[in-house]
Amino acid sequence: MRSQPDYDVIIVGGGPAGSTAAFLLAKAGHRVGLFERAVYPREKVCGGCLTQKSVRFLDRVFSLPLDAMRREGLLDFTGKGYALYIGGRRLLAEDLAEPFYFTRRERYDACLARMARGAGAEVLEGMEVTAVNHVQRTVTTAGGERYSASVIIGADGVHSRVRRSLPKGVVDPQRWRKNLGLALEIKIDRREAGVHLNREAAIRLDAEIGIPHVFLGACPMGYGWVFPNTDAVIVGIGGLFEANRKGLPDRFRELLVKIGFAAFSDRKPAGRLLSFGNYIPSPAHEGTVLVGDAGGFTSPILGEGIFYAHRTAELAAHAIDRHLTSGAPLAATYTSLLNRRLIRELEAEMRVRDFLYSHLNGGTPAILLRFLARVVRRPVIETVHGHRSFQGFRRDEDLHTAVW
């Protein structure tokens, strides 16, 4: 087994979290190795929704305003409105002051990896990490090569090998399983969708399928979605794994029939586990930290993961930079940043989620429907976009500000 040159930081996983951390740390002058087992561009099962807080992050951190994102081909579709359903009933349908954007992950991830490389990170594609030694702070690849670093970042998704190699006690397995999600999804070519869409179905999608549709309660403790892309329509369903481990395929077929896509109900969907509120409060041990899905960081209501991948990577990079340059304790610094900048918000969103889905699953949504329609629809949208906090839906323009 031959030894390889050391890095200051090794990052396992080259998605949005890994590339963000690599970009920021390399830009700060640290020696960074970003290990990605696939070769870009690689496929990723993901709805690809970018909220306004993600768009602002890309502008602030990567200097990618909207016009630059368009030039890079990162914006596949713009959703200028939305439709929200509960129990087959269209509750809300309106234009948005700020749109949702949709990206294709193979382009998105490849672009961010290029930017990390441009900042000075060494991006190693086709390099699968098969073992992690947290005491010696080394990783071993499928080819038997061993690399060492002062810090290791686990950015390798919900099935994270880095997380699974941590000692017992760092991750609460019961809490992880309780809030783990399961999703099924298919991609339908727009030409096929136009030919086979049943316009007389119980739920009628808008004519051009040009806006995101969300179906709350399509499954226990979860929802269904139809997301528009330029050349395809993404249809999916997802919720807490413990509530859906057996019946989700049937629920998905029911949703497809209800929305007019019965012709595709026999198509095998792509399945994936996802973080759905199972964030790890202290995702650090010795010289290792977890970011993004590896640490369970996504929206507990919608499962939105891209922004939380970026944000946790930014917080981790800041903590690592302080650790490497001034000796600040890594785990304590990162955990403190998470508590001040993210955890409280996720805790508040969890409370909203449990309130929302308890009413839906109880079969008595009438009061909730009126509440949503008359009182909080705009604050909720503004919260999803990052202008408000889930802590009382108060306005908070500083919620996602820089820490560097």
Query: Which pLDDT does position 3 carry in this prediction?
Result: 52
Q: Give the pLDDT band of residue 1 (cuts 50, 70, 90).
A: very low
Average pLDDT of span 153-161: 96
Q: Is the pLDDT of residue 290 over 90?
A: yes
Q: Is the pLDDT of residue 259 over 90?
A: yes
Domains annotated for the chain, with CATH where assigned, are 7-77+102-175+279-364 (3.50.50.60), 180-275 (3.30.9.10)
Residue 241 exposure: Cα atoms within 13 Å on the Cβ side: 17
SS3 395: strand
Average pLDDT of span 260-288: 94
Query: Which pLDDT does position 393 carry in this prediction?
Result: 86
Q: Is the pLDDT of residue 148 over 90?
A: yes
Strand-pair category, 122-125 with 32-36: parallel
Share the mean pLDDT of the chain.
91
Query: Which pLDDT does position 372 carry in this prediction?
Result: 62
Q: Is the pLDDT of residue 2 over 60?
A: no
Q: How far is Cα 188 from Cα 264, in angstroms, rounded to an integer?
A: 8
Q: Is the pLDDT of residue 9 over 90?
A: yes
pLDDT digits (tens, 9 = 90+) for 43-75: 877 778 899 999 999 999 999 999 999 999 999
* Torsion sign across C-alpha atoms 53, 54, 59, 60: positive
Largest CA distance in the chain: 66
Query: Which pLDDT does position 356 carry in this prediction?
Result: 81
Exposed/middle/buried for 49, CB within 10 Å: 0-12, 13-18, 19+?
buried
More confident call, 77 vs 373: 77
Q: Give the pLDDT band of residue 375 (cuts 50, 70, 90).
A: low
Average pLDDT of span 333-361: 89
Average pLDDT of span 236-251: 93
Average pLDDT of span 213-220: 91
Query: Which pLDDT does position 158 carry in this prediction?
Result: 95
Q: Give the pLDDT band of residue 369 (cuts 50, 70, 90).
A: low
Q: Which residues contact 254 (CB under 8 A, 6 or more apart)?
A: none
SS3 147: strand
Query: Which pLDDT does position 360 carry in this prediction?
Result: 75
pLDDT digits (tens, 9 = 90+) for 353-365: 888 887 776 555 5
Q: Is the pLDDT of residue 146 over 90?
A: yes
Task: Yes or no: say if 171 and 289 are a contact pair by the CB < 8 Å rule.
Answer: no
Average pLDDT of span 230-246: 93
Peptide bond into 41 cis (omega under 30): yes
Q: Is the pLDDT of residue 377 over 90?
A: no
Average pLDDT of span 292-308: 94
Could you tell me which residues are beta bridge partners of residue 132?
139
pLDDT digits (tens, 9 = 90+) for 105-115: 999 999 999 99
pLDDT digits (tens, 9 = 90+) for 224-235: 999 999 999 999
Query: Which pLDDT does position 33 carry in this prediction?
Result: 98
Average pLDDT of span 266-292: 94
